[in-house]
Amino acid sequence: MEKFLQDFVYYLSVEKGLAANTLDSYGRDLNKYLHYLKQNGITDFAETGREEISRFLGVQRDMGLAPASVTRSLAAVRSFYQFLMKEQIIEVNPARELETPRSEKQLPHVLSCDDVELLLEQPECGKVGGQRDRAMMEMLYATGIRVSELVSLDINNVNIKMGFLRCIGKGSKERMIPLGSVAIKSLQDYLKNSRGKIIKNKEEKALFLNQQGKRLTRQGFWKILKKYSLKAGINGDITPHTLRHSFATHLLENGADLRSVQEMLGHADISTTQIYTHLTRQKIKDIYNQTHPRA
């Protein structure tokens, strides 16, 4: 049974081109499912049906898993059985008819424009590390890219003259995102004054480097962002995704159309982007309640 899981993850990686994080999530969820089946004496996927899958999801809920995590587990199991059908290991996908658990969509945490300004002012741009940190945060807010995409950037992914960033996102899909003038200026300062002082190997292609002259990691950037959010005294748990959410929300609040924001964020489905319209509607409602004499 483990061999089938390995083959499936390999299939997702090679034929579907899924990102490493997605592969890890599928692997974790399916290993939990495999462990559950073994605990219940099932040693062949062909012996499983809807009942086993439903009970497995019920155990996940009883263990306190969030509805979104249970939904993700079901999606992983459903995709895995579809793969087994493709490989002619089973004839019917027992997960196909199972209803996806309904979950309330949590509205993302978004910073105000003032808080974004405050955060971006925190790095000391007179220092090598400060220029790098300011450039990274400016780029994250200016483009809405994911932190994994940010740290994966190479120097040749940025065209400063044209004011565009070439980003390779989920599923190895490429998208072009415009850079604002402030982000361009911060990036120019970093490239001119700081990167050359950090780099150890002249062949290094990574745009953003750590103190050892190697590509900065996601964890490294998280620590940097956490440091500046504490320094700024901004309430709430700020993550790299907070800047991504703020980017999308501020664009929509200022008149950007949903399709353009979807394109820049790299969302395959516009329904994913529509979560941000709930935030802008809420802001309109708050303004109405605060200002209308009969609100």
Catalytic residues: 146, 170, 241, 244, 267, 276
Asked whether the beta carbons of 234 and 115 are under 8 A apart, the reply is yes
Per-residue burial over 172-193, b = 16 or more CB atoms within 10 Å of its CB, e = otherwise = eeebebebeeebbebbebbbee
Give the chain's largest Cα–Cα span: 68
The rounded Cα 170 to chain-centroid distance in angstroms is 9
C-alpha to C-alpha distance for 240 and 222, rounded to whole angstroms: 7
The rounded Cα 82 to chain-centroid distance in angstroms is 26
Of 190, 188, 184, the residue nearest 127 (C-alpha): 190
Q: What are 288's two structure tokens?
A: 């109405």
DSSP for 95-116, written as a single string: TTTSPPPP-PPPPPP---HHHH
Asked whether the beta carbons of 90 and 84 are under 8 A apart, the reply is yes
Asked whether the beta carbons of 248 and 144 are under 8 A apart, the reply is yes
Torsion angles phi and psi, residue 166, rounded to 5 = -100, 120
Of 79, 51, 116, 104, the residue nearest 253 (C-alpha): 116
